[in-house]
Amino acid sequence: MAVTRMTYAEAAVLAVANAMRDDPRVVVMGEDVGRGGIFQQYKGLQARFGAERVIDTPISEATIVGAGVGMALVGMRPVVEMRVVDFALCGMDEIVNQAAKNRYMFGGQGRVPLVMRMPIGLWANSAAQHSQSLEAWFAHLPGVVVMCPATPQDNYSMLTQALRGEDPVIYMENKELWGLQGEVDDTRVHEPGRAQVLRQGDDLSIVSWSAAVHTATQAAEALAAQGVNASVIDLGTLWPWDRDTVLRDAARTRRLLVVHDAVQPGGFGAEVAATAVQATGCRIARLGAPRIPVGYASRLEAVARISPAAVIEAALSLMADAPAAAAV
Amino acid sequence: MIDLYRTMARIRAFELAAEVASQGGVGVLGAKVDERAKVRGPLHLSIGQEAVAAGVCAHLRREDLLTSTHRGHGHTLAKGGNVRRMMAELFGRADGSNGGKGGSMHIADFSVGMLGANGVVTAGLPIACGAAHALKLQGKPNVVACFFGDGAINRGPFLEALNWAAVYRLPVLFVCEDNRYSATTSTAGLTAGPGVAARANALGVPSETVDGNDVEAVSAMAERLVAKVRGGEGPQLLHALTWRVRGHVSVDTQAYRDPQDLQGALDADPLKRARARALASGVSAAQLDAIDAEVQAEIDDAVAFADASPPPDVAAAYTDIQTTGAGAWL
Ligand SMILES: Cc1ncc(C[n+]2csc(CCOP(=O)(O)OP(=O)(O)O)c2C)c(N)n1
């Protein structure tokens, strides 16, 4: 075991490198991966494993995913890179109709152990087509695992798990977290469907994932200074998601707030909230982005950003047992 | 020739039986589905196009791979797919090749390298590339045959897949079954430039065009092109001009179609031509009749098998979805 301090991007490189070292079936395909990927999330891999296993591809998203499916059907374990989730939409058919349903539709004849990396989240001043958080679309899709790592350790552990499973994995790193530093224990493997309780409090439960976990944690710290103690739970995997941990905590605190960067309506927060209120009768609130495309200008972009202040406000109104301020 | 004839006759008999079993089976615009229909889903028949499947697949080994379109019965049969299980799949039964989960449009038999028919136009091309890329990385001597229609060349993945196969010199034989129609529209008016062969050539994939209703011509060309692909010369494209005799999908009345054009298609029947050719080359009518009877018996048996097979267990609705997280919360 080695515990090393590294960035979120470096943790991903380490996970892929270890998998490629241990398993010759693992290959990487995508645009610019040979040069390390646009976020350096493949840094050094081509030099180490060769251009046959770290495959630079044309700008052909649909074929990158589809070929990943074909490779997987024939015994490989491909990792495909979409750069950002927004470009994954060019391969949406390959993801939704081909990868996710293959096993079922063909009566169990095929397996598609394919890891599809498609970063989510805001990307400063990159406007509406480079800043989406579409995780709910994929959580809505039977046949796939959906992972949203929030820390370097998670990025290492979840990617390692993704590369070992038998299912297609929608693997969503966050564009704002690439440079985040943290300790990584390279023996730790993520258990899919296991949430992490990052803080435990008695007053309310805050459930989140990806970059919003950090926002929620900041807010919880500020709330604690005001005498309000919140649990912070990082779901990590959106499918399968850890109902038990969430429901246990919500049943205890009787208040649940779900926080995510994605657009609030139709977001995965709705799923968590509805499940919690049905199972525990707790009070619930959701906090996500308004239903607007992300603007280019900083002040427009800021409207789509969930701030710790917004989390605090939502938490306090939940504590006051008063309806939250005007809905968006 | 005899073998080619048998393959074509088997495909024809299979599809005619499937067509009969589908009578009343596909409801359109609220039409009531006849409860007695055995084949309920959309059925895309390749009647009239059998020579392409037979001529190409004659040169594939069992370990070679195949991707197909929504019109995949002929390809699957020609590759050696299990006739009983295929029919059971069309009937939506538990013994179907896909356990009753796919139906006609998703017919697949991985045991013979048939990686699946596809409900999405052009989707098979990238998958064929990936399969071929994997074969290359795995150091295997096999090839992939990739069937698609003339309509498929107007989706982006066509261009991406041919470029990809050429760049990585992959062992793929692209086979364009040009039946001149995309669903209810003549493809010619929707395709700019000279079409598939020129597009392939432009991407560095050598292409040749053949009379797709002449099974010997298709077979001879496929033999040459498969040998090139297998020999490491990179992807090749076989462009087969053929005719779709039936409608696009089961209930299609072909109202959009020029009756003369349909007559031309019927006159060009590849089975009739193959039979005439066989007779001319000295095969007796009795021999051909015996083949017809033999394949008909095989199909009758498949229909009986399909009919006797039970529907899938309700529990199967929850199986083969995924490993991680399956049943975590239904
Ligand atoms: C991406 C996509 N668009 C539209 C359709 C609907 N559709 C099914 S088959 C077909 C025509 C395909 O024509 P072609 O590729 O020439 O094959 P053919 O049906 O003639 O065998 C269309 C438009 C589809 N299945 N997928």
- State the Cα torsion A105-B156-A72-A189 to the nearest 10°: -100
CB B88 within 8 A of CB B305: yes
Residue range A195-232, pLDDT digits in tens: 999 999 999 999 999 999 999 999 999 999 999 999 99
In ligand 1, the atom with minimum distance to the C-alpha of B46 is 21
pLDDT digit string, tens, across residues B250-287? 878 888 888 998 999 999 999 999 999 999 999 999 99
- Is the separation of the CB atoms in B148 and B175 below 8 Å? yes
Separation of alpha carbons B243 and B212, rounded Å: 8
Per-position b or e across B76-108, b if 16+ CB within 10 A of its CB: bbbbbbbbbbbbbbbbbbebbbbbbbbbbbbbb
Is the CB of B329 less than 8 angstroms away from the CB of A240? Answer: yes
User: In the structure encoding, which two tokens stand for residue A328, read together?
Assistant: 């968006």
- Rounded to the nearest 10°, the torsion over CA B139, B145, B146, B149 is 170
Structural domains present in chain A: 3-185 (3.40.50.970), 196-319 (3.40.50.920)
For residue A322, what pLDDT is reported?
53
**Could you tell me which of B4, B83, B14, B15 has the C-alpha nearest to residue B51?**
B4
CA distance B128 to B168: 13
DSSP string across B255-272: TTS-HHHHHHHHHT-HHH
pLDDT bin (cut points 50, 70, 90) of residue B325 is confident
Q: Is the pLDDT of residue B72 over 50?
A: yes
Determine the longest span between alpha carbons in chain B, in angstroms: 66
CB contact under 8 A, A70 and B131: yes
Q: Helix or strand or coil: residue B320?
A: coil
Q: How many CB pairs under 8 A join A and B?
A: 159
Binding site membership of B149 for ligand 1 (Cβ less than 6 Å):
yes
**What domains, with CATH codes, occur in chain B?**
1-25+35-318 (3.40.50.970)
What band does B304 get if pLDDT is binned at 50, 70 and 90? very high
- Whether A323 shows a pLDDT value over 90: the answer reads no
Distance, in Å, from the CA atom of B192 to the CA atom of B180, rounded to the nearest integer, reads 14
Q: Quote the tokens at residue A303.
A: 């409207």
* Residue B26: predicted pLDDT: 62
Q: Both tokens of residue B204?
A: 């560095």
| DSSP character at residue B114 | B
Residue A117 near residue A61 (C-beta atoms within 8 A): no
> In the structure encoding, which two tokens stand for residue A65, read together?
């995913």
Range among B102-111, B257-266, B320-329 with highest mean pLDDT value: B102-111
Contacts of A206 (CB under 8 A, 6+ apart): A216, A219, A220, A230, A231, A232, A233, A256, A257, A258, A259, A311, A315
Burial of residue A248, with CB atoms counted within 10 A of its CB: 0-12 exposed, 13-18 middle, 19 or more buried: middle
pLDDT of residue A281: 96
What is the nearest CA distance from B57 to chain A, expressed in angstroms? Answer: 20
pLDDT in tens, B119-167: 888 999 999 999 999 999 999 999 999 999 999 998 899 999 999 999 9
Q: Bridge-partner residues for B172, per DSSP?
A: B144
Flag whether pLDDT at A187 surpasses 80. yes
Alpha helices in chain A (DSSP H): 8-22, 45-49, 61-73, 85-88, 92-93, 102-105, 135-139, 152-162, 212-225, 243-253, 268-280, 298-303, 308-319
With cut-offs at 50, 70 and 90, classify the pLDDT of residue A12.
very high
Band of pLDDT at residue B242, cut at 50, 70 and 90: very high
Return d(Cα B130, Cα B107) in angstroms, integer. Answer: 20
CB B324 within 8 A of CB A167: yes
Q: What residues have CB less than 8 Å from A66, skipping those under 6 apart?
A: A91, A94, A98, B123, B125, B126, B127, B129, B130, B157, B161
Contacts with A106 (C-beta within 8 Å, 6 or more apart), sequence order: B98, B101, B102, B106, B108, B110, B116
For residue B43, what pLDDT is reported? 92
Cα–Cα distance for residue pair A211/A213, rounded to 1 Å: 5
**Count of beta carbons in the 10 Å neighbourhood of residue B270:** 28
Contact A67 B127 (CB under 8 A): yes
Question: pLDDT tens digits, residue range B10-52?
Answer: 999 999 999 999 987 665 444 556 777 898 888 999 999 999 9
- Token look-up 């030099």 returns A47
Please, are residues B69 and B175 in contact by the beta-carbon 8 Å criterion? Answer: no
* Residue pair A213/A238 in contact by the 8 Å Cβ criterion: no
Judge whether residue A328 has pLDDT over 80: no
In the predicted structure, residue A275 carries a pLDDT above the cut 70:
yes
From A69, A106, A168, residue closest to B102, measured CB to CB = A106
How large is the average pLDDT for residues B105-112? 96
Do residues B225 and B56 touch, judged by C-beta distance below 8 A?
Answer: no
Confidence of residue A327 (pLDDT cuts 50, 70, 90): very low
The dihedral built from the CA positions of residue B89, B94, B95 and B98, taken in this order, carries a sign that is positive
Active site residues of A: 130
What local confidence, expressed as pLDDT, does residue B200 receive?
98
Contacts of B152 (CB under 8 A, 6+ apart): B69, B121, B122, B125, B158, B176
Average pLDDT over residues A283-306: 89
Of B130, B322, B329, the CB nearest to A66: B130
**Which residues, at least 6 apart from A130, have a Cβ–Cβ distance to it below 8 Å?**
A84, A86, A123
Per-residue pLDDT tens for A113-137?
999 999 999 987 777 788 999 999 9
Distance from the Cα of residue B246 to its chain's centroid: 15
Partners of residue A145 in chain B, C-beta under 8 Å: 322, 324-325
Over 90: is that where the pLDDT of A88 sits?
Answer: yes
Mean pLDDT (whole number) for A61-80? 97
Distance, in angstroms, between B169 CA and closest chain A CA?
13
Give the burial class of A254: count Cβ atoms within 10 A of its Cβ; 0-12 exposed, 13-18 middle, 19 or more buried: middle
Pocket test for ligand 1, best of B46, B49, B121, B254 (most atoms within 8 A of CB): B121
CA nearest neighbour of A262 among A161, A172, A202, A156 = A172
B75 lines ligand 1 (CB under 6 A): no
Kindly state if the Cβ of B72 falls inside 6 Å of ligand 1: no
Q: Searching chain A, which residue's CA lies closest to the CA of residue B328?
A: A240
CB of B54 sitting under 6 A from ligand 1 = no
Contact B49 CB / ligand 1 (< 6 Å): no
Q: Give the model confidence (pLDDT) of B192-219 as tens digits.
A: 999 999 999 999 999 999 999 999 999 9
Over chain B, what is the mean pLDDT?
93
Contacts of B325 in chain A (CB under 8 A): 145, 167, 192-193, 239-240
Percent of chain B with pLDDT over 90: 78
Cis peptide before A240 (omega within 30 of 0): yes
Does B127 contact A93 at a Cβ distance shorter than 8 Å? Answer: no
Per-residue pLDDT averaged across B172-177, rounded? 98
